[in-house]
Amino acid sequence: MNKKLSKRRLYIITGALAIAGTTLVQAMPGRAVSFSTPEGVEGKPKVETSGGASRSGGQCTPGVVVKPEEAIAPLVPNTKLGLTVAERPNFFAYIPETTAKEAAFSLQDEEQNLVYQTKISLSSKAGIVRISMPEEVAALEVGKDYRWFVEVLCSGEDFDPDNPLADGWVRRTEKNPVLQSKLEQASTNLERAMAYAEAGIWHETASMLVEARQLQSEDSSGWELHWQELLTSVGLEAIATQPLAY
Residuewise pLDDT in 10s, the chain (246 residues): 444 444 444 333 334 333 333 332 233 344 667 777 776 666 666 554 433 333 445 567 666 666 766 789 999 998 899 999 999 999 999 999 888 899 999 999 999 999 999 999 998 789 999 999 999 999 999 999 999 999 999 877 777 778 888 999 999 999 999 999 999 999 989 899 999 999 999 999 999 999 888 776 544 557 888 899 999 999 999 999 998 886
224 vs 230: CA distance, rounded Å:
10
Predicted structure pTM score: 0.79
150 vs 49: CA distance, rounded Å:
12
Backbone angles phi, psi at 4, to 5 degrees: -65, -45
Q: Which helix (H) or strand (E) holds 147?
A: strand 145-152
